[in-house]
C-alpha cells in the first residue's frame, strides 16, 4: 500500500491579519499542517491563524527590523510534512496551485520547485520597479552563477524534507529567498525546477518591504557568495557587507 505523503505549509507573517484570513480560507485539502510564524505582530494575525487551525510559532529574531528569513527558517525546521510549501502570508501567492505543484514534484521526481511569477501571462501584476528588480536579479544570478532562473526573488517554493540535509539556511532577512534557491541549485543531491504561477500584488495591510534597500542587500549577498572562494577573504567580504548593511539601515 502506498503511504500518504504529508504536506506542511509555512507562512511567515507580520501584521497580516486581513490577508491571512482570506489566504487561510482557501487552503487545499492536501495540506495537512499550517505553520504561521509571527514576529511581534500587533494586529489579529495570531488569533486568525489559530482560528483556522494553524500552529502559531514566535520568532523574534530580526535583522534591521526584518525577520523574514528567521521566521521562514523557524517554520521550515518545525514543519513535520514530507513536503514543505513556503509562501508569503500576504495573499499574493496562489494557494490553489499547491495540489498541481505536489503532483509535478512527485511525478517528475523533483526535490525543489521554485514558483516563478514572471513572465506574466496577461497583464503585468506587479509594480514596474519590482518587475525590473526581478529581471535584474535574474541576470545577476545568471552572470555570477550561471543559473538561468525566471524568478530569482520568488517568495513561494516547495521542497521535499530531504532537501534540508543537503542545504543549510543562514540568512535571516530578505536574502533567504535567494539563499534557498542558490543552495538548492548548487547541491548535486537536489533536482530543481521552476513552476509558473499567477501572482498579484498584496491587497491588504502594510508592506514590510523597502525595495531599494533590499535590492542593495541582495546585491551584496550575491557578490559575497560568488567571490568568497576566489578571494579567500570571506571575513573581509562579510565585514564589508556588515558595514554597508548598517550604513543602508
Ligand X SMILES: Nc1nc2c(ncn2[C@@H]2O[C@H](COP(=O)(O)OP(=O)(O)OP(=O)(O)O)[C@@H](O)[C@H]2O)c(=O)[nH]1
**Interface positions with ligand X (CB under 6 A):** 12-14, 16, 37-39, 59, 62, 66-68, 71, 88-90, 92, 155, 202, 207-209
d(CA 110, CA 93): 21
User: Least separation, in Å, of the C-beta of 231 and ligand X?
Assistant: 30
User: Least separation, in Å, of the C-beta of 5 and ligand X?
Assistant: 25
Options 45-53, 101-109, 143-151, 201-209: segment touching Mg ion (CB under 5 A): 201-209
Q: Which is nearer to ligand X, 26 or 209 (CB)?
A: 209
Q: Which is nearer to Mg ion, 15 or 167 (CB)?
A: 15
Q: Which does 177 bind (CB under 5 to 8 A by kind): ligand X, Mg ion, none?
A: none
Q: Which does 13 bind (CB under 5 to 8 A by kind): ligand X, Mg ion, none?
A: ligand X
Q: Which is nearer to ligand X, 135 or 208 (CB)?
A: 208
179 binds Mg ion (CB under 5 A): no
Q: Which does 116 bind (CB under 5 to 8 A by kind): Mg ion, ligand X, none?
A: none
- β-pairing verdict for 112-116 and 192-196: parallel
The angle formed by the CA atoms of residues 25, 172 and 109, to the nearest 5 degrees, is 60
114 binds Mg ion (CB under 5 A): no
Q: In what order do the strands lie in the sheet with 112-116?
A: 55-58, 33-38, 7-13, 83-86, 157-160, 112-116, 192-196
Instruction: Report the half-sphere exposure of 1 (CA within 13 A, side-chain side).
Output: 2
92 binds Mg ion (CB under 5 A): yes
d(CA 107, CA 120): 25
90 binds Mg ion (CB under 5 A): yes
Q: Which helix (H) or strand (E) holds 164?
A: none
Q: Which helix (H) or strand (E) holds 190?
A: none
How many CB atoms within 10 Å of residue 1?
3
Q: Classify residue 205 as left (phi > 0), alpha (psi -120 to 50) or beta.
A: left
Q: Which does 173 bind (CB under 5 to 8 A by kind): Mg ion, ligand X, none?
A: none
Q: Which is nearer to ligand X, 38 or 111 (CB)?
A: 38
Q: Which does 182 bind (CB under 5 to 8 A by kind): ligand X, Mg ion, none?
A: none
Q: Classify residue 53 as left (phi > 0), alpha (psi -120 to 50) or beta.
A: left
Cell 499567477 sits on residue: 198
User: Least separation, in Å, of the C-beta of 211 and ligand X?
Assistant: 8
Q: Which does 67 bind (CB under 5 to 8 A by kind): ligand X, Mg ion, none?
A: ligand X
User: Least separation, in Å, of the C-beta of 50 and Mg ion?
Assistant: 22
88 binds Mg ion (CB under 5 A): yes
What residues pair up with 37 in beta bridges, in sequence order?
12, 57
**Residues contributing to the site for Mg ion (CB under 5 A):** 88, 90, 92, 202
Amino acid at each position: 500500500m502506498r503511504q500518504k505523503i504529508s504536506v506542511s505549509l509555512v507562512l511567515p507573517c507580520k501584521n497580516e491579519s486581513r490577508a491571512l484570513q482570506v489566504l487561510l480560507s482557501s487552503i487545499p485539502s492536501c495540506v495537512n499542517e499550517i505553520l504561521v510564524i509571527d514576529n511581534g505582530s500587533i494586529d489579529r494575525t495570531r488569533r486568525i491563524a489559530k482560528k483556522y487551525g494553524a500552529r502559531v510559532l514566535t520568532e523574534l529574531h530580526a535583522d534591521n527590523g526584518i525577520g523574514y528569513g528567521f521566521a521562514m527558517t523557524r517554520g521550515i525546521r518545525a514543519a513535520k510534512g514530507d513536503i514543505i510549501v513556503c509562501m508569503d502570508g500576504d495573499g499574493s501567492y496562489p494557494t490553489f496551485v499547491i495540489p498541481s505543484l505536489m503532483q509535478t514534484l512527485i511525478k517528475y521526481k523533483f526535490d525543489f520547485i521554485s514558483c516563478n511569477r514572471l513572465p506574466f501571462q496577461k497583464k503585468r501584476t506587479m509594480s514596474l520597479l519590482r518587475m525590473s528588480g526581478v529581471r535584474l536579479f535574474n541576470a545577476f544570478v545568471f552572470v555570477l552563477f550561471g543559473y538561468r532562473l525566471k524568478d530569482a526573488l520568488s517568495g513561494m517554493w516547495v521542497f521535499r524534507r530531504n532537501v534540508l540535509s543537503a542545504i543549510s539556511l543562514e540568512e535571516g532577512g530578505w536574502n533567504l529567498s535567494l539563499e534557498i534557491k542558490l543552495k538548492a541549485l548548487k547541491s548535486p543531491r537536489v533536482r530543481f525546477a521552476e513552476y509558473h504561477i499567477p501572482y498579484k500584488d498584496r491587497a491588504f495591510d502594510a508592506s514590510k518591504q523597502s525595495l531599494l534597500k533590499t535590492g542593495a542587500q541582495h546585491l551584496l549577498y550575491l557578490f559575497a557568495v560568488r567571490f568568497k572562494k576566489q578571494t579567500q577573504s570571506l571575513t573581509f567580504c562579510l565585514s564589508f557587507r556588515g558595514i554597508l548593511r548598517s550604513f543602508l539601515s
